[in-house]
Amino acid sequence: MTVCHAGALAKYDIENGRAMPGRIPFDVAVAHAYTASTFYTPGILGIASLPFGALLMLQIVVKVLALISGDARLPYKRSADCTSNMTTIPSTENAALSAALAAAINNKTKPLGSLGMLEVLARQIGLIQQTTQAQIIDPALIVFAADHGIVAENVSAYPQSVTWQMVENFLAGGAAINVFARQNHCALHIVDAGVNHDFGQRDGLLDRKVAYGTRNFAQEAAMSADQCAQAVQAGMDLVATIKGNVLGFGEMGIGNTTAAAAIMHAMTKLPAAECVGAGTGLAHEGILHKQKVVQDAVAHHAAVVAQNAPLDILATFGGFEIAMIVGAMLKAAERRMVLLIDGFIITSALMVAARLQPSILDYCVFAHCSDEHGHRQMISHLGGRPVLQMGLRLGEGTGSVLALPMLHAAVNFLREMATFESADVSQQNA
């Protein structure tokens, strides 16, 4: 709702009656009336500071803007395919190069297959880069942050304000992802995709805010078709500017495990109980409640789910950070980068991206298998094989950065390890 106050609109949480952080100018509030997570409609007045005629005029203006912008609360509208201008992502399969990589790997001074997953990675990275001399150049990770209207359903152990507080922690260099990125010489980029907070101009923060969080998908689509397209395009545009040939993806957003679980439930048709986990640390009763929220929400949007269009499912249940990650993944694969896939939320974005461009999976390294319930099923659904198994479920992209040394090891042994011939070492008897 909106409250007219001293020439500005103070934002309020319609579900909980709590003041939202920040104020926005009156004209900006009207312009963004139907793209923010809270409902900017003059339904309830905190103070009677405007005459009735002015209030009526404001309400008319807001409703007209809603009609123009294609608000999600209007009859269902198919999401725009913002990926239609993309080059089709090619498969990395190349019989001749695959044979050359196998020969190079097998001729190193070791028993056949003895480097296990490192050999798998060396072959995969070589195929992505189209060379037997693969290398890791300027690895980077992007953390996308956004808020979710679904938190109104009490699906998180933490309040929504933690999202923006953790973004501040990222900017201050104090989060786990900061520590691990520094340790592994990985560039780190922080993106405001749709946090319910006004950060202002900040060093180190990339402002790509679509709105102040999504809507509550238990009641209506999380975002409009246009918002979804905007977020996906923003992810593509951002990756177009990133240097290097390895890109990881991280996220921050209270409520986003619920969004990811809903995407999983809608796309795989697995029972909600197999898709929903503890998230930020819910107790058993909280998990059961979260399961019901997801199950009921997917049933509520049965018409969208039945059409099985990935962008529509993304718009209905996703978050702005998840949508941006979809776009970022697609552009990264188009650029033949190695995609480092983190945990549950990141993999839910990959499910959407892979439905749009199946060959994207050739470019993906599944960094780890999260302890978040449902992640193992997600990876299995996508045919992935995780590099690490460490009981992680933090998010932020931490698993991706922790797996980065394995990628370095894979390309380094391929480039630097001696062959039997060069080391004058006898090979296995025939």
Six-digit token string for 385: 């094989």
**416 in catalytic set:** no
Question: 98 and 127 in contact (C-beta within 8 Å)?
Answer: yes
Which residues, in sequence order, are CB contacts of 249 under 8 Å at separation 6+? 141, 142, 144, 325, 328, 329, 339, 340, 341, 342, 346, 349, 397, 400
Rg (CA), the chain: 23
SS3 96: helix
DSSP E strand stretches across 258-394: 338-341, 364-366
SS3 22: strand
Residue of 153, 396, 416, 421 marked catalytic = 396
Q: Where are the alpha helices (DSSP H) in 130-279?
A: 161-172, 176-183, 225-239, 256-268
Whole-number Cα distances in Å, 116 to 281, 297, 409:
34, 43, 12
Which residues, in sequence order, are CB contacts of 315 under 8 Å at separation 6+? 72, 79, 221, 222, 223, 224, 225, 227, 228, 323
Q: Give, in degrees to the nearest 5, the angle at Cα 391 between 386 and 393.
A: 90
Question: 363 and 340 in contact (C-beta within 8 Å)?
Answer: no
Question: First CA to last CA across the chain, in angstroms?
Answer: 78
The strand pair at 140-146 and 19-25 is best described as unpaired
Q: Which helix (H) or strand (E) holds 326?
A: helix 320-334
Q: Which amino acid is at 31?
A: A
User: Count of H helices and E strands in the chain?
Assistant: 16, 9
Strand partners, 207: 192
Among all residues, which ones are annotated catalytic?
A: 396
